[in-house]
A and B are shown apart, each in its own frame.
Chain A
Amino acid sequence: MEFLMIVIILALVVIIGVWLYIARQGDADFEFIVGQRTDFILEDLTDKTATFSCKVPFINKGSQGGTIMDAYPRHLLPHEQFDGVDVSSRMELSTAPRTDNYFESVIIPQGTGGTVIITVTFTAKAGGIREALGQMAELTVDMAIDIVYQIVARSLWYIHKARMVMTCDEIMRAMQAKGTAESEES
């Protein structure tokens, strides 16, 4: 009986020890800091399309390294809200630019981070893009964009979302800034 008690106590000590070790070790903890993103700027403008981009920092604020296995922007502009444009969006690491909307898995050590570039292209469904975006601004339509990211680290993989909003005012400011810059150049 005494031997059994010793075994049980030893087992409990081991379990508590392992639990404490894991709790102290912690895990990766990622955050896309949408509050610190840059304003969208107009990258390209044609009669039918307007392309904007912004930069969003992220950090692994956990105690372990972790991997961003996948990440992509999910723009949300339902036709019930505004039906004048088609939207496409993509995301890439600023340190590994690519245009195929493929996010190559990347290991982020604890306490470090990086920056992603989000690119959004509006294509007018009818007429010109300037008019379409003008209507969007008249209707005060803001577009939410979720940054969807899949993390794998010590624990089971998970998917999180961080929401940012691309406002119509911001779109208009970017269009005007580009127009001002072009008129100054000419």
Chain B
Amino acid sequence: MSEIELIPVGTRILTDKDNIVDIIVKYAEQNAGPNDVVTVAESVVAITQGRLTRPEDLKVSFLARILCRFIPQEGSLSSCYGMQSAMDAEGQLRILFALLLGMVAKLFGKNGVFYQLAGEQAPLVDDVTGTMPPFDKCLVYGPFDPNGVAAEIKRRLGCYGAAVADVNDLKRAAVLGVSAGLDAQKLAHILIDNPFGNASQRTPIVIIKNYAQEEKRATGQA
């Protein structure tokens, strides 16, 4: 009986000259079968979509310089550039009110409210150092239309499904976009150990082998 197996797939360094779906077809087609799910790292999708900027190119507002001070320094929004990127993506007022409400919620012992209210891009901004060279000197936003990207990967590869995932070494995994019928939370659980590796490993694609059989078995259809 086949079990789930995670296969990282290496690529060359990808840039905004690349089409992520074409790249996945090129590097993963021979290993991805009809029972497999193909996942791709969200920051690489964003880079190929040109969703990145240099700190030097950002015009930082006074409000961003103040608000970043209230983010713990481990967070990407703790620099005024990370905060400005989030403001540019989600709007100044939204970030301001999310932060104020987040502070109030924290007083009552509830964490994470800021990121719940700040919009989907706020937690996805990667500050400088967040990605591998030559993008380590850039801020990278979250990808555009991750569900659409996943659907297109599935269509082109003919695999069981596809997903765009945000995973790190701190045991945090979120699946931002999936092709129809896939359970994002289940995929996040499978990817929790970060099979993409750290940035220098250049493996932005992970194939989840035998996912379909495992799902059928779990639902008693096998």
Task: Return the CB mask of A155-185 against B: 1 if under 8 Å, else 0.
Answer: 1110000000000000000000000000000
Across the interface, do B60 and A156 meet the contact criterion of CB distance under 8 Å? yes
Q: Which of B66, B78, B128 contacts A18 (CB 8 A)?
A: B66
Instruction: Find out whether the CB atom of B79 lies under 8 angstroms from the CB atom of A153.
Output: yes
Is the pair A105, B73 in contact by a Cβ cutoff of 8 Å? no
CB distance from A154 to the nearest CB of B (A): 6
Residues from chain A with Cβ under 8 Å of B136 in the complex: 104-105
Q: Roughly how many angstroms separate A157 CA and B69 CA in the complex, as a whole number?
A: 15
Interface flags, A113-124, vs B, CB<8A=1, else 0: 000000000000
Of residues 48 to 80 in B, which have CB atoms within 8 Å of A's CB atoms?
A: 55-56, 60, 65-66, 68-69, 73, 78-80
B contact residues, range = 10 to 19
Chain B residue with the shortest CB-CB distance to A22: B69
Q: Which residue of A lies closest to B73 (CB)?
A: A65
A27 → chain B closest CB, angstroms: 9
B128 engages A69 (CB within 8 Å): yes
- Nearest residue (CB) in A for B70 is A21
Q: In the assembly, what is the distance between CA of A156 and CA of B55, in Å?
A: 9
Interface residues of B in 8-53 (CB under 8 A from A): none
Complex: how many Å from CA A105 to CA B73? 16
Is there contact, CB below 8 Å, between A22 and B66?
yes
Once the chains bind, are A105 and B128 in contact (CB under 8 Å)? yes
Whether A104 lies near B79 (C-beta < 8 A) is no
C-beta contact mask, A137-161 vs B, less than 8 Å → 1, else 0?
0000000000000001111110000
- Within the complex, the shortest CB–CB distance from B63 to chain A, in Å, comes to 11
B129 on interface, CB distance cutoff 8 Å: yes
> What residues of chain B lie closer than 8 Å to A153, measured between beta carbons?
79
Query: In this assembly, does A25 line the interface, its C-beta being within 8 Å of a C-beta of chain B?
Result: yes
Q: How far is the CB of B22 from chain A (nearest CB, A)?
A: 27
Q: Find out whether the CB atom of B137 lies under 8 angstroms from the CB atom of A105.
A: yes
Chain B residue numbers with a CB within 8 Å of A25 are: 69
Q: How far is the CB of A152 from chain B (nearest CB, A)?
A: 6
A67 close to chain B: CB less than 8 A: yes
| A interface list, Cβ under 8 A from B | 18, 21-22, 25, 64-65, 67, 69-70, 102, 104-107, 152-157
Which of B's residues lie within 8 Å of A, judged by CB? 55-56, 60, 65-66, 68-69, 73, 78-81, 127-129, 133-134, 136-137
CB-CB nearest 7 A-B residue pairs: A105-B136, A105-B129, A65-B73, A105-B128, A22-B69, A104-B133, A104-B136
